[in-house]
Amino acid sequence: MSIALIILAAGKGTRMESHLPKVLHKIGGAPMLLHAMQSGIALSPERIIVVAGHGADRVRIAAQAHDPDTEVVIQTEQLGTAHAVAQARPALNGFDGDVLVLYGDTPFISHASLEAMAVARAQHDVVVLGFEATDPDRYGRLVMQGESLQRIVEFKDASVDERTITLCNSGVISAQAETLFDLIDAVGNDNAGEEHYLTDIIGIARARGLSATAVTCDESETLGINSRAELARAEAAFQSRARAALLADGVTMQAPETVFLSFDTVIGRDAEIEPNVVFGPGATIESGARIRAFSHLEGCHVSRGAVVGPFARLRPGAELAEDVHVGNFVEVKNAQLAEGVKANHLTYIGDADIGERSNIGAGTITCNYDGVFKHRTTIGADAFIGSNTMLVAPVSVGDGALTASGSVITRDVPDGALALARAPQVTKDGHAKRLFEMLKKKKENLRKGVI
Ligand code: UD1
Ligand code: CA
């Protein structure tokens, strides 16, 4: 069965108190909209349609960055969930598969739940994803008769009796495209919210002799986000799931609750992640690498046997080959460190290529930026960069070359050469002693008031 996703994302999200459209607030480094899209994408949909309204341009950019084939339709006025789904109708003209409606602010619906809905769809015309709510609060209630879903009643319109129902509507709903849009055509707005409720299609379907049922999922999947507090709760839920998945895959973490992960963090088996490490988007860590405490990594690749940190920062484009060591207070950006390179202390390596086994001394800096352009530094294999070397890019240091400590290297250093670029030392015997005596005497005179 071919599937089209319709993801509702037009709401303003007033309670977020934000200029950013609600669905673009991030969880695990990715907009919540992308999490919602991703759960539906697991079903290999033929079409993806996002219904945007508030901040539609930004929503479009984010959705299409994740999946360029995503179509974005605009709902100019938010007249209710049925009205929102109806906006996708022209885009789906002629599509005769199943439609699955998801919410952009409900990011954790599992693949298993959507699969279960697809199975139920074989028996029923309309399938709703429900859940047993510990606190049913203001959710729509599912009115069941055995297996059969009779109707959904919104909290605002529910009777006292109906409000005691604990089986609630997650909002996720599935039906054949034409059936769905025909049902939506019949939805009015004669209700407490004066909105076109998508949930009304169940009662309408039943009245037309169509069948409907509910599949249930775990309440944690239906976590919706309306405020920053709920966003923080969703982040915490995401983090604990992501940590548990890594532990299950054989990653060592002594204090997993202090490690922060992104939606796309990849860490190989037997890698070790010490406490208080943060992974921004785009980090991949191979098997057996070790990331030591208080390091921050994003957009980088760390190969097996490499050791990073403590207190290291790997920024986008940092690529560490096998057995590379990057130590405390070292920052690496857009640079390739070949096998066995060591940069153990207080260093900035930006826009650079460093050959195998080269040693980068403490305090070395690639001066990559002239205020307008960025330039590259190239270092060969087995080079030794003395402590506190400034490498003023563009510049290269050859294989087996050596730069003397404190050098400011502005010209290329050939293979095997020694480059020394610092002022020669001047030593004057007895000068320090005389200078201190003079200064002490001056201080004493000042104290006595003698000038
Ligand atoms: C909806 C359901 C309710 C369910 C709850 C689960 C309806 C009528 N009610 O209620 O049964 O228990 O979700 O969270 O469907 N949206 C649009 N355009 C609109 C209206 C809404 O895009 O015109 C989007 C919102 O941005 C949001 C989603 O649809 O992502 C749900 O809308 P919301 O107003 O939050 O519905 P609820 O009142 O929470
Ligand atoms: Ca809601």
Active site residues: 345
Q: Give the pair of three-digit tokens for residue 254.
A: 């002594």
Binding site membership of 11 for ligand 1 (Cβ less than 6 Å): yes
What's the 47 CA to ligand 1 centre distance in angstroms?
A: 22
Give the residue, by CA position, lying nearest to ligand 1 atom 1.
Answer: 171
Ligand 1 pocket test: pick from 37, 85, 87, 103 the residue with the most ligand atoms within 8 Å of its Cβ: 103
Mean pLDDT, range 419-429, rounded to an integer? 97
Binding site membership of 323 for ligand 1 (Cβ less than 6 Å): no
Give the model's confidence band at 1: pLDDT under 50 very low, under 70 low, under 90 confident, else very high: confident
Mean pLDDT, range 363-369, rounded to an integer? 98
Give the model's confidence band at 451: pLDDT under 50 very low, under 70 low, under 90 confident, else very high: low
Phi, psi of 245 (to 5 degrees): -65, -40
Q: In this structure, which amino acid lies at residue 37?
A: M
pLDDT single digits (tens) 191-216: 988 999 999 999 999 999 999 999 99
CATH of 3-222, one of 3.30.360.10, 3.40.50.2020, 3.90.550.10, 3.20.20.150: 3.90.550.10
Mean pLDDT, range 120-128, rounded to an integer? 97
| Domain spans of the chain, in order of start | 3-222, 228-419
Give the model's confidence band at 255: pLDDT under 50 very low, under 70 low, under 90 confident, else very high: very high
Mean pLDDT, range 443-447, rounded to an integer? 95
CB 23 within 8 A of CB 32: yes
Same fold, 3-222 and 228-419: no
pLDDT above 90: percentage of residues in the chain:
98
pLDDT single digits (tens) 19-36: 999 999 999 999 999 999
| Fold that domain 228-419 belongs to in CATH | UDP N-Acetylglucosamine Acyltransferase; domain 1 (2.160.10)
Q: Give the pair of three-digit tokens for residue 267.
A: 């860490």
Query: Quick one: DSSP state of residue 423?
Result: P
CB 404 within 8 A of CB 418: yes
Mean pLDDT, range 309-330, rounded to an integer? 98
Mean pLDDT, range 46-52, rounded to an integer? 98
Ligand 1 pocket test: pick from 6, 7, 81, 196 the residue with the most ligand atoms within 8 Å of its Cβ: 81
Binding site membership of 109 for ligand 1 (Cβ less than 6 Å): no
Binding site membership of 341 for ligand 1 (Cβ less than 6 Å): no
Residue-level pLDDT at 447: 95
